[in-house]
Structure 1
Amino acid sequence: MAEIVALDLEESSTGLVATDLQDGVLTVTLSNPPAHALSMEMIATLHRTLDAARSDKAVRVLVLASSGKIFCAGHDLKEMAAHRADPDGGRAFLEDLFRRCSELMKAIVRLPKPVIARVDGIATAAGCQLVASCDLAIASEAARFCTPGVNLGGFCSTPMVALSRNVSRKHAMEMLLTGEMIDAQTARDFGLVNRVVPPEYLDQVTAKYAAAIASKSPAAIARGKRAFHEQADMRLSEAYDYASAVMVEGFMTRDSDEGIDAFVSKRKPEWKGE
């Protein structure tokens, strides 16, 4: 797991990512052009950023973005190829790389704050996995997606985990077996992204979603996100029992009292986060 370090999330840049915090929304921009590849260093940097955001009460929503024609091209193939010269042919490096990347994707899912992917370019392999791991994804009409491991003599097995949990099995297999690029509209039809908008409206629409979520009770959002993923792997009866218990606890909180009173009084709620 990436080392946890303190980061100033108000407005900072590590050289690989830039962060900007405005009104509870932390925008994390991949800044390693042109491919914004998930190198070992990029994975560690993103993991540290997530860890810092987890403990920062000022952060309510994360937006994951990048600039240029590529959102994220997946792993750094040059970095991978360089380790072919290792005594073991690069096996230890690959094992560590994919383990760390998997931990990053799990960290996004387990983060008690929603993560929105803002995609205005190509997302391939682990970059597509990154989009699929986010809670929401807003794409411009210029966005493209694919899992091209099969074209390289391998298979996008770890991207498959996130992909198969977001789209139907037939659609996931179509992407994994063909390695072909799909456009943004097809990605929406498959269920990989929530909305497709003209490029000039991407920031506006993403900001609208982020602001709407940031206005809710952070405690309720955290509880709900955790429950969503927990119940997804349960049998129906078990899921309902679990979700009912979570719902009871949710409506016993101070934020629930505040939300109900604000609704009845026709005023804006003031969340306490508890």
Structure 2
Amino acid sequence: MSAVLNCNISFIGGGNMAQALIGGLLSRGMPATRITVADPVDKVRQVLLEKEVHVTDDNLAAVQQADVVVLAVKPQVLATVLAPLKGQLQDKLIISIVAGAEIDSIGHLLETDQIVRVMPNTPALVQTGAHGMFATDAVSAQQRDLASQVLAATGLTLWLENEAQIDAVTAVSGSGPAYFFYLMESMIRAGKNLGLDEKVATALTLQTALGAAQMAITSSNSPAELRKNVTSPNGTTQAALEVFDRAQISQNIQAALAAAQKRSQELARELSESVK
């Protein structure tokens, strides 16, 4: 973490994910004076001012002294935002958390190839994110380590073998929180139908989700083994799991993630065509 603490980091875009990263960096000792955020929305800048970081509505001014530039804008405005920065960032490490924005597209817009592409997820807001990362060959080992330190401030970082795997990461962890929220919704609804008060059903569901995740993270056993360990023959858990199997829940989950991956690929192609 020491390397990133001595860098100047500028964020282009100050939305939720940028704020999550900024909060994580500050909590790990990053001086607020080393962080600059450019955002066109006054309300966003006011929120960021409370963190005592530098704020501006001028993207070009924001990146002048930066060692690392984090792109955190909506994909629809990427080309417009980056146009004035073309050729201005060639000596800086670029970290992009822009959904669907391929490295070639960003490189074309900025005339640089020192780019790390990241697929984060929303639990980064509570510093438990999961980030899939890919870098071009132009990114040095030192820069890769620096990018890891920036993202590790909000959770797990994993390097990918190729950029195409970003679409799989999008399907698994990028969209993944919604799948678990969907399951939680269903369990809470089922608890109510079985006679529990909504607050009780909610508390039991959320704590069980937290406990199961913590067990899976800390155990030497795989999730499949953990499931088997809590499934007694002819017991209540087996009765529930048999319903899942009859409904082909596992197959449907796999089909759902494949659909998410396909849509991620489509969005990336659409964005690439729009910026070139």
TM-score (normalised: structure 2): 0.26
Give the number of the structure whose residues are more often helix, by fraction. Answer: 2
Larger radius of gyration: 2
TM-score (norm 1): 0.27
